[in-house]
A and B are shown apart, each in its own frame.
Chain A
Amino acid sequence: MNAFIDFITGPMVWISFLIFFAGVFIRVFRLAQEANSKEKFMFSYFSWKYSLRSIFAWLVPFLPASTRQSPVFWGISYLFHLLLFMVPIFLLSHIVLLEESLGWSWISLNDSIADVLTVLVILALVFFAVRRLNVPEVKFLTRSSDYLFILIVALPFLTGFLAYHQFFFYRTMVIIHILTGELMLILIPFTRFFHMFLAPISRAYTGSEFGNVRQARDW
């Protein structure tokens, strides 16, 4: 069993990152290639100034009108996305593993704080699921894959939480935690998790068109 754990905490991590980076690169490259061959005009409207203006405007909580219209969703969404990256990156256990393998380390979250933040991430996901089930306009758009996405994101956090507290089936919990974490990373370039990269791109283009051509704000 230790050999298996050695594999999933060692080579598998690199394989996952490799697939992730290669997948992201290939997709973005193909996208740019297609834009270049069929919609070259888009590059002539693209503007760094207005792209960044739009992206930053949308990063400021409650600046865009949409965020003020749905403050609960947006509050939770902003927090969720922040924690989704912050908790795993600044988690002590993760940093310890990195320190052992590469000798890198950086500032870490206090474990008990990370614990609370993990619960917040899980609660946010529960909120998203409940919202999909209950808000008519969201329900109408929702497909079963949307719940699957929520589950895939929830699993590493949930198993991480359970493993940290060592409630039961410790080994199994950690193994599921590691595998689902890697699964999520691998899936990013091939699923709608890719909005992580596409969202800034489409925001940038809309921001460029609004700022450059229409001379209006887009938030």
Chain B
Amino acid sequence: MQDSTIENKDSVKTDVIDEAVERGLERLTPERIAGVINQVLAKETGARFKTYIDTCMRCGLCADACSFFLSNDRDPKFSPAAKVKQTLTEMLEKRGNVSKDFLKNMVRIAHTECNVCKRCSMYCPFGIDIAYMMLTVRRICHKLEITPLYIQDTVNSHSATMNQMWVKEDEWIDTLQWQEEDAREEFEDLRIPLDKDGADIMYSVIAPEPKFQAGLIYQTAVIMHAAGVNWTMPSNPGWDNSNMAMFTGDFEISGRLAKAHYEAAADLHVNRIVMGECGHAFRSVYDVGNRWAGWRMPPIELVHAIDFFHELLTTGRIKVKEKYKKSVTLHDPCNVSRGRGLHDKAREVVNLLCDNFIEMTPNKEHNFCCGAGGGVINCGPPYKTTRMINNRVKKEQLEQTGAEVLIAPCHNCHSGLEDITHHYGVDMEIKFFGDIIYEVMEKTIYQGGV
């Protein structure tokens, strides 16, 4: 029984055909393969990479940190160190002279079997950053042009439009005006102020919001209006804070995106940027893209939605009419808990909004990824089944809480968790903090003065 399920899983995994990878491999010559690998390993890595390679004592303690390893019945191939062994170690030892089959496996491992969640850095006694190692592998994939199709398309969109979903400029503005109009049924003078110079806050979103979750912009507009916030959104590129290029190793585009984001804020002379409930986007502008663009830390104060909601609720700008009754649990998105330590504030927000909070364990910095993060979900439909198999632990975690509602303050997590609850038949409704605030808030305008 056990054996047959493992066999099935393996066959599911080897059956995946990604056209971009297949075609990319066809184009490669042995010289180019070795050339690219050696260029990246020799020129683009340095003391950090060497230290990680030389320090690992192969103790295997990272294995227990990894949701892939745990979800695959402790299959040794899925431990974080094993992923390095199967990719980087071999490339280093063979001096880049690796086969196309090897590369095919490498793409699968680096792009779909690691969420670059950094949980393993917390279980490695030496703090080895295996996420960085896997991103280095993805950098090699990118330079070899064998990045999985769907995520590469997203990067192409970033490159051409500066947003993730080929949203055209008029579509963007149109969507905001449409949401403004709808929201005026609740507050007659509500605005979604575009390009308001000198506003206190620039609010930024990821492109899927205007594309197919415009209701989230509506909710935000209502919350902002009720809280009496002086806010704005840019009409020019830079409004999208998402960044898939950072996950494909296309660092050049990744840096451009973060730069465009901050420049949009600088052009509007805002005091700070508040961003919607998204994790990877936060990582992009707070931790990754800014570095590539040359800013040690964000050049303009950057506030994640959790932090912002916490502020609105604790300062009384948003008042709760009646607390949320259903039992809720909270999924800590990696990029804002392990990535920014917002887990405690998130809990305070939950408790300010809801009556019945059930903890999910392990949690906070030790949370398990939703399985979608790190660009894994963006590799698209070909890998969906394996993604489900690869994050069984999350399903087990969800079931253990027995909660009716799951709060996930991150877009990626949302999609990933929705896939998991559907695939495994977990009866759980998934919500953003914004959804709950919108539901429980008093729809009156804050009069404390701005």
- Does B32 have its Cβ within 8 Å of any Cβ on chain A? no
The contact size tier of chain B is 35 or more
Is the beta-carbon distance between A140 and B77 smaller than 8 angstroms?
yes
Residue of B nearest to A219 (CB): B122
Is the beta-carbon distance between B48 and A137 smaller than 8 angstroms?
no
- Does B81 have its Cβ within 8 Å of any Cβ on chain A? yes
Q: State in angstroms the CA–CA spacing of A139 and B121 once bound together.
A: 21
- Does A69 have its Cβ within 8 Å of any Cβ on chain B? yes
Is the beta-carbon distance between B340 and A192 smaller than 8 angstroms?
no
Interface residue ranges of A187-210 to B (CB < 8 Å)? 192, 194-195, 198-199, 201-203, 205-207, 209-210
Is the beta-carbon distance between A45 and B296 smaller than 8 angstroms?
yes
Contacts of B296 in A (CB 8 A): 41, 44-45
Shortest B304–chain A CB gap in Å is 12
Scan A123-146; emit 1 where CB is below 8 A from any B CB, else 0. Answer: 000000000000111111111001
Q: State in angstroms the CA–CA spacing of A35 and B79 once bound together.
A: 28
Is the beta-carbon distance between B47 and A34 smaller than 8 angstroms?
yes
Contacts of A198 in B (CB 8 A): 51, 54-55, 126
- Does B9 have its Cβ within 8 Å of any Cβ on chain A? no
Shortest A79–chain B CB gap in Å is 15
- Does B448 have its Cβ within 8 Å of any Cβ on chain A? no
Residue of B nearest to A41 (CB): B291
Scan B116-134; emit 1 where CB is below 8 A from any A CB, else 0. Answer: 0000011111111100000
Contacts of B195 in A (CB 8 A): none
- Does B323 have its Cβ within 8 Å of any Cβ on chain A? no
Scan A23-43; emit 1 where CB is below 8 A from any B CB, else 0. Answer: 000000001101101110110
Contacts of B46 in A (CB 8 A): 34-35, 37-39
- Does A164 have its Cβ within 8 Å of any Cβ on chain B? no
Is the beta-carbon distance between A202 and B50 smaller than 8 angstroms?
no
Is the beta-carbon distance between A213 and B297 smaller than 8 angstroms?
yes
Q: State in angstroms the CA–CA spacing of A192 and B129 once bound together.
A: 18
- Does A105 have its Cβ within 8 Å of any Cβ on chain B? no
Interface residue ranges of A52-111 to B (CB < 8 Å)? 54, 58, 64-66, 69-70, 73
Shortest A43–chain B CB gap in Å is 11
Is the beta-carbon distance between B51 and A201 smaller than 8 angstroms?
yes
Is the beta-carbon distance between A192 and B122 smaller than 8 angstroms?
no
Q: State in angstroms the CA–CA spacing of A61 and B122 once bound together.
A: 15
Q: State in angstroms the CA–CA spacing of A35 and B125 once bound together.
A: 22
Is the beta-carbon distance between B366 and A65 smaller than 8 angstroms?
yes
Q: A34-B46, A39-B46 are in contact. Are A66 and B123 (CB under 8 A)?
A: yes
Contacts of B59 in A (CB 8 A): 73, 138
Stretch at the interface among B61-69, B139-147, B240-248, B266-274: B61-69
Contact of A218 among B52, B77, B121, B287 (CB under 8 A): B121
Is the beta-carbon distance between B63 and A137 smaller than 8 angstroms?
yes
Is the beta-carbon distance between A70 and B128 smaller than 8 angstroms?
no
Q: State in angstroms the CA–CA spacing of A216 and B126 once bound together.
A: 17
Contact of B79 among A45, A137, A195, A219 (CB under 8 A): A137
- Does B113 have its Cβ within 8 Å of any Cβ on chain A? no
- Does A165 have its Cβ within 8 Å of any Cβ on chain B? no
Q: State in angstroms the CA–CA spacing of A140 and B89 once bound together.
A: 13
Is the beta-carbon distance between A215 and B128 smaller than 8 angstroms?
no
Shortest A136–chain B CB gap in Å is 5
- Does B341 have its Cβ within 8 Å of any Cβ on chain A? yes
Residue of B nearest to A199 (CB): B126
Is the beta-carbon distance between B58 and A141 smaller than 8 angstroms?
yes
Contact of A199 among B61, B125, B337, B343 (CB under 8 A): B125
Shortest A115–chain B CB gap in Å is 28
Scan B125-165; emit 1 where CB is below 8 A from any A CB, else 0. Answer: 11111000000000000000000000000000000000000
Residue of A nearest to B55 (CB): A198
Contacts of A205 in B (CB 8 A): 48, 127
Interface residue ranges of B259-292 to A (CB < 8 Å)? 286-287, 291
Is the beta-carbon distance between A38 and B47 smaller than 8 angstroms?
yes
- Does B18 have its Cβ within 8 Å of any Cβ on chain A? no
Shortest A61–chain B CB gap in Å is 12
Q: State in angstroms the CA–CA spacing of A215 and B51 once bound together.
A: 24
Is the beta-carbon distance between A195 and B57 smaller than 8 angstroms?
yes
Shortest B320–chain A CB gap in Å is 27
Contacts of A37 in B (CB 8 A): 46
- Does B60 have its Cβ within 8 Å of any Cβ on chain A? yes
Which residue among A31, A54, A143, A194 has the maximum number of chain B CB atoms within 10 Å of its CB? A31
Residue of A nearest to B59 (CB): A138
Is the beta-carbon distance between B338 and A137 smaller than 8 angstroms?
no
Shortest A93–chain B CB gap in Å is 30
Is the beta-carbon distance between B47 and A32 smaller than 8 angstroms?
yes
A-B contact pairs, 24 of them (CB 8 A): A34-B47, A42-B47, A42-B48, A65-B366, A66-B122, A137-B79, A138-B58, A138-B59, A139-B76, A140-B60, A140-B82, A140-B85, A141-B81, A194-B54, A195-B55, A198-B51, A199-B125, A201-B51, A202-B51, A202-B126, A206-B121, A210-B121, A215-B340, A216-B341
Closest 10 CB pairs of A and B: A206-B127, A140-B76, A38-B46, A215-B341, A138-B60, A35-B47, A141-B58, A216-B341, A66-B123, A137-B63
